[in-house]
Amino acid sequence: MKKPKLTLKDVALKLGVSTATISNAYNRPDQLSALKRTEILAACKSIGYEGPNKAAQILRKGRSNIVALVLADSIEYSVNDPVANTFITGVANILKEQKKHMLLYAGDSESVRDVVDFVDGFICYGAPRNPNLADVLNRQNKPVVTVDFNLPDRPSVNIDNEQASYEIARLALKPNDRVAILGLRLIDSPSVCRIYDTPLLDVEHCIAHRRLNGYLRALKEAGITIGNDLIWNIPESEGKFAIQAAKEVLNSHPRPNIILCMSDIIALELLQCAMSMGLDVPNQLRITGFDGIAEAARTRPYLTTVCQSSAEKGKVAAITLLNDTSESSILPYELKQGETV
Amino acid sequence: MKKPKLTLKDVALKLGVSTATISNAYNRPDQLSALKRTEILAACKSIGYEGPNKAAQILRKGRSNIVALVLADSIEYSVNDPVANTFITGVANILKEQKKHMLLYAGDSESVRDVVDFVDGFICYGAPRNPNLADVLNRQNKPVVTVDFNLPDRPSVNIDNEQASYEIARLALKPNDRVAILGLRLIDSPSVCRIYDTPLLDVEHCIAHRRLNGYLRALKEAGITIGNDLIWNIPESEGKFAIQAAKEVLNSHPRPNIILCMSDIIALELLQCAMSMGLDVPNQLRITGFDGIAEAARTRPYLTTVCQSSAEKGKVAAITLLNDTSESSILPYELKQGETV
DNA sequence: CTGTTAGCGCTTTCAG
DNA sequence: CTGAAAGCGCTAACAG
């Protein structure tokens, strides 16, 4: 039952060659004749040696072929968010190609100590919920690629959130509109609430802020002013919170006739709510989303939104990390005119 | 910029104590006085030592606190399946509690060699698409827990698929029904097709087979016979394939008036299809699903289905692995009468 | 092209 | 409670 677990040394002894030769047979084919190499590999297989122990290799080489994917939130939450999911898909795609492995790491953790000594690098998807984590990450020496936020001197992958938001708002807005904004993680609060004069989260750490700026620029241009009581904070892009916010905003007086949402999930829940209240979309209420998730493409009326390719983001992030380049990328996005505007 | 990266030895030297003492301070508090321990820890922190190197610990201790979650399919696919996702959530929940980490591993890989030497164990969610992988997994010595399939002498987590399928079919069937079955991975084919006389996948490796048996038992009891040309194979629980199958079955003559689906995703796509063809559900067509995914609870008409808790499965699997027990679990399920039957 | 050897950084007996 | 020493299993100089 329990195999004795051969080591490279055992094998070298048995085959009457040096350990270096066995090691080279596996790791550096150019260091010995092809013939000898084939012989050795065959002999190893036949006596049941499966190759050098990976744990020892990690220590010795300082490389594990494991990449940590640091999610913005807990794993539980992130894995159920379609946008995060698509991103993971993109990363997985590239890692598989390069025979690397993926360790999921929660962004609400305190530190990366548990894994920093053996992973080869970090892909950091969204500003970690625990702000401490970003600092720790930045202070260590392994490669880091950030996505949807920035860390000093680290490459990042982003879209131009400000411009995208500006454009979608511009597309949607009409003179004299009564506007509301459903924001995502604008302030440091676990609750659905209006932001009033709560200080906003750090710009660098927060795409929400950039999206807000884009909206506000479009509003200004359209000659519309909006109070902070018409800007909601939603702590997570999750149905439950989105519904709460949707109800609040739709039941507020005077009711807005256009609502700019910082994610499709939020927009879709709002849309559901509005329709079940008998509102005519888009005539009584216009809605814009952000992301371009698959579900939005399946749901009628089609959502007017900003499409970004999360899968592509994942791929670019993985490639950037594996090449250890320091170049940041700005990826393209696309406005999608649906039926909600 | 680049810190010199202190080792335990350096630190011991600097503090004038032995390496064992430093090691004990971190790992075995009972081996030294609380006072000395606090002093040492404080001193370490102040000189910038973050604690023992994890890579070295893994080699030395033979334990990494990393658990591999082996998915049935590629990571790309699995992460976008709501059932798999909920399962991952459950696993993540327990791992977090126990400060373990999760490595995602694709079930279409050839072997686990890349990670077997350093992970602490495997949770295997669904029979791996590469059947080879199951063998390799079973031959190695680290703990394995299987979910939704079995491996000899390994603990597993399952529901009683046969009985559940029997019950949902029994609930739905009426005398003289024209029945079709939309099966999931019944045969080893990448295509949507009728199974005809293609050999079924191995029973042990295949919940689909058990579900099929349950359906057939109910059919037999109801005095209905069904040919293999009315049983479809769908290779993955993905929208694209489900739609293909839905069209085939709904356009076949005579059209079935009841269709038993092996997943909610399949059932939901079928439902969409049927409604867009103007069919009256449930009067002209009854549909049953399997799983009880969240989306089914949001979609009208409500799906009649078998609800199982994937999150619970994940938790139980993780607990079983971490406790290294050999007890298998059979989890409960629940029939949910919706509006499609 | 092959063999010897010094570690990678740590933990854990074991003797004091 | 502390310190010295022997590896965990491997790789990469380096010398032959």
Q: Which are the contacts of B22, defined by CB distance < 8 A and separation ≥ 6?
A: B8, B11, B12, B15, B40, B44
Q: Does A98 touch chain B (CB under 8 A)?
A: no
Whole-structure pTM value: 0.93
B59 touches strand C (CB under 7 A): yes
pLDDT of residue B4: 67
Contact across the interface for A106 and B116, Cβ inside 8 Å: no
Interface test with B, best of A44, A70, A91, A114 (most B CBs within 10 A): A114
Nearest to A50 by CA among A17, A33, A26: A26
Interface test with B, best of A6, A63, A79, A139 (most B CBs within 10 A): A79
Extract the tokens encoding B103. 């490595």
User: Which residues in chain B (236-255) have CB-CB distances under 8 A to chain A?
Assistant: none
pLDDT of residue B205: 66
Mean per-residue pLDDT over chain A, rounded: 93
- Provide the pLDDT confidence category of residue A171 given band limits of 50, 70 and 90: very high
Contact across the interface for B66 and A93, Cβ inside 8 Å: no
pLDDT of residue A217: 97
Residue keyed to tokens 């939020």: A266
CB A308 within 8 Å of CB A271: no
Strands A305-308 and A329-331: unpaired
| CA–CA dist B165, B142 (Å, integer) | 34
Nearest to B238 by CA among A238, A89, A265, A316: A89
Nearest CB partner across the interface for A76, out of B50, B55, B92: B92
Q: Which amino acid is at A180?
A: A
CA of A9: nucleotide with nearest C1':
D9
Give per-residue pLDDT as tens, A282-323: 999 999 999 999 888 878 899 999 999 999 999 999 999 999
Q: Which are the contacts of A147, defined by CB distance < 8 A and separation ≥ 6?
A: A87, A123, A124, A125, A126, A156, A157, A158, A313, A317
Q: Does domain B8-52 correspond to CATH entry 3.40.1410.10?
A: no
CA of B63: nucleotide with nearest C1':
D8
Residue keyed to tokens 């689909």: B208
Extract the tokens encoding A238. 């999750």
Q: Does A79 touch chain B (CB under 8 A)?
A: yes
Task: Classify A21 as helix, strand or coil.
Answer: helix
With distances taken from each CA to the C1' atom of nucleotide D11, the closest residue turns out to be: A60
Q: Does B13 touch chain A (CB under 8 A)?
A: no
pLDDT of A261 above 80: yes
CA of B40: nucleotide with nearest C1':
D2
Give residue limits of the domains in chain A: 8-52, 66-158, 161-307
The domain defined by A161-307 folds into Rossmann fold (3.40.50)
pLDDT of residue B204: 64
pLDDT of residue A1: 38
Extract the tokens encoding B279. 């069919």
B315 Cα to chain A: minimum distance (Å): 12
B259, β-bridge pairs: B180, B287
Number of Cβ atoms within 10 Å of the Cβ of B220: 11
Q: Chain B contacts of A97, Cβ < 8 Å?
A: none
Phi, then psi, of B330 in degrees rounded to 5: -115, 115
pLDDT of residue B278: 95
Number of Cβ atoms within 10 Å of the Cβ of B246: 28
Task: Classify B231 as helix, strand or coil.
Answer: strand
Phi, then psi, of A41 in degrees rounded to 5: -60, -40
pLDDT of residue A202: 76
A261 Cα to chain B: minimum distance (Å): 21
Extract the tokens encoding B110. 């050839």
B216 Cα to chain A: minimum distance (Å): 34
Q: State the DSSP string of B83-125.
A: HHHHHHHHHHHHHHHTT-EEEEE-TTSS-SHHHHTT-SEEEEE
CB A124 within 8 Å of CB A145: yes
Contact across the interface for B76 and A58, Cβ inside 8 Å: no
Strands A179-184 and B286-288: unpaired
Q: Does B198 touch chain A (CB under 8 A)?
A: no
Q: Chain B contacts of A86, Cβ < 8 Å?
A: 80
Nearest CB partner across the interface for A89, out of B80, B115, B118: B80
Extract the tokens encoding B286. 């009854």
Closest chain B residue to A52, measured at CA: B117
Distance B177 CA to D4 C1' (A): 82
Which one has a higher pLDDT value, A329 or A237? A329
| CA–CA dist A214, A170 (Å, integer) | 9
Residue B203, judged by CB atoms within 10 A of its CB (0-12, 13-18, 19+), counts as middle
Contact across the interface for A114 and B104, Cβ inside 8 Å: no
Angle, alpha carbons B44-B50-B55 (nearest 5°): 130
pLDDT of chain B, 341 residues: tens digit per residue: 345 688 998 889 889 888 999 999 999 988 888 888 999 999 999 999 999 999 999 999 999 999 999 999 999 999 989 999 999 999 999 999 999 999 999 999 999 999 999 999 999 999 998 989 999 999 999 999 999 999 999 999 999 999 999 999 999 999 999 999 999 999 988 999 999 988 888 766 689 999 999 999 999 999 999 999 999 999 988 889 999 999 999 999 999 999 999 999 999 999 999 999 999 999 999 999 999 998 888 778 999 999 999 999 999 999 999 999 999 999 999 999 999 99
Q: CATH says B66-158 is which class?
A: alpha beta
Residues in chain A: 341
Contact across the interface for B106 and A96, Cβ inside 8 Å: yes
CA of A57: nucleotide with nearest C1':
D10
The yes-or-no answer to whether B66-158 and B161-307 have a common fold is yes
CB A318 within 8 Å of CB A95: yes
| CA–CA dist A83, A264 (Å, integer) | 9
**CA-CA distances (angstroms) from residue B268 to A264, B179, B273, B303, B340?**
21, 18, 9, 8, 10
Contact across the interface for A101 and B103, Cβ inside 8 Å: yes
Q: Chain B contacts of A297, Cβ < 8 Å?
A: none
pLDDT of residue B203: 62
Task: Classify A147 as helix, strand or coil.
Answer: strand
Q: Does B41 touch chain A (CB under 8 A)?
A: no
Q: Which are the contacts of A247, defined by CB distance < 8 A and separation ≥ 6?
A: A273
Closest chain A residue to B138, measured at CA: A1
pLDDT of residue A13: 87
- Provide the pLDDT confidence category of residue A32 given band limits of 50, 70 and 90: confident
